[in-house]
């Protein structure tokens, strides 16, 4: 078995996602899970390299060139862990046993440059049904929050105005 065959070659998930590239970040909306993800530049560079062909070692080299930051395998693994947690990769990531998980805090301590630390921020987005689920004028209500107008007359068992 070749050394390349022994290395993890991650694959980014693309189906069911809406992707918008912006300067210094990538926004990803997961249509299946109704989650929005914001990938900073470092995380986006790693995710972009998850093409099913590029090894982690090759990602490190590419990131060093593209970002001009001191990137090592730990930075790439931190990004892969976050991308995996956000379900932006095909299948789970199997970290080699000799590569323990590194927290962002530990990465900042080790690397010393926060800009090199990959960050994936995720937010649960409400579905259209949840957003449009208020009561209209004249409907029975128990509290102001239930009414589209924000006013429930004579709660409980009141009507929305």
- Mind listing the domains of the chain with CATH numbers? 3-125 (3.90.930.60), 130-160 (no CATH)
Residue 22, exposed/middle/buried by CB under 10 A (0-12, 13-18, 19+)?
Answer: exposed
Element (H, E) at 54: none
pTM score of the predicted model: 0.68
Query: In this predicted model, what pLDDT tens digit does every residue of 68-98 receive, in sequence order?
Result: 877 888 888 889 989 999 999 998 877 776 7
pLDDT at 2: 44
Is the distance from CB of 139 to CB of 160 less than 8 angstroms?
Answer: yes
């Amino acid at each position: 078995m070749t050394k390349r065959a022994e290395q993890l070659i991650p694959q980014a998930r693309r189906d069911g996602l809406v992707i918008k590239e912006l300067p210094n970040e990538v926004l990803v909306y997961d249509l299946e899970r109704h989650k929005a993800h914001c990938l900073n530049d470092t995380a986006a560079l790693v995710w972009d390299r998850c093409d099913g062909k590029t090894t982690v070692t090759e990602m490190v080299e590419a990131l060093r060139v593209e970002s001009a930051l001191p990137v090592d395998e730990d930075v790439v693994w931190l990004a892969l862990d976050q991308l995996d947690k956000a379900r932006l990769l095909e299948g789970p990531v199997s970290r080699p046993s000799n590569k323990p998980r590194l927290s962002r805090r530990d990465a900042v301590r080790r690397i010393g440059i926060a800009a090199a630390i990959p960050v994936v921020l995720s937010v649960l987005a409400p579905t259209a049904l949840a957003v449009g689920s208020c009561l209209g004028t004249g409907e029975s209500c128990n509290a102001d929050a239930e009414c589209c107008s924000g006013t429930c007359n004579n709660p409980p068992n009141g009507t929305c105005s």
